[in-house]
Amino acid sequence: MRHQKQGRRLGMPGDRRRAMLRGLMSAFIRHERIRTTESRAKEMRPRVERLVTLSKRGDLHARRLALQYLPDPLMIEKLFAEIAPRYQDRPGGYTRILRIGQRKGDSAEIVQIELV
């Protein structure tokens, strides 16, 4: 039983799920918008919001914590140098999820997640 377990399993074991989410987050920071399935976007959103909030602090400890979520130093640099200053006055809600339609093969709901 999955009592008190949080998060979506997304049909894969934990190590693959973490690797997939890290790849999605890295692509999201690089392009500032991506298209993916709705469940993946909903699972990724709180992690990205947490990264942006960490990057607004801007200290060394925040960088080290961000490296745990996103182990790509170039994306961490972009996050702290370009994205964080944009949202300095915003208290939260940095992302938006827009529904695009359904994927043809399996009718999965496709969404676009982007920075506000």
pLDDT (mean) for 87-92? 94
Specify the CATH number for the domain of residue 26: 3.90.1030.10
> For residues 87 and 101, what is the distance between their CA atoms, to the nearest angstrom?
29
Q: From the CA atom positions of the chain, what is the Rg in Å? A: 15
For residue 92, the cross-strand partners are none
Within-domain flag for 78: yes
The domain in which residue 58 lies consists of: 14-115
pLDDT (mean) for 70-82? 94
* Contact (Cβ atoms closer than 8 angstroms) between residue 73 and residue 26: no
Within-domain flag for 24: yes
Q: What pLDDT shows up at residue 83? A: 96
- 13 has a pLDDT exceeding 90: yes
Within-domain flag for 87: yes
Within-domain flag for 4: no
Within-domain flag for 98: yes
Q: Which amino acid is at 79?
A: L
Per-residue confidence band for 57, with pLDDT thresholds at 50, 70 and 90: very high
> Per residue in 19-30, pLDDT tens?
999 999 999 999
> For residues 102 and 14, what is the distance between their CA atoms, to the nearest angstrom?
26
Tell me the pLDDT of the chain averaged across its residues. Answer: 95
pLDDT (mean) for 88-94? 95
Within-domain flag for 8: no
For residue 33, the cross-strand partners are 114
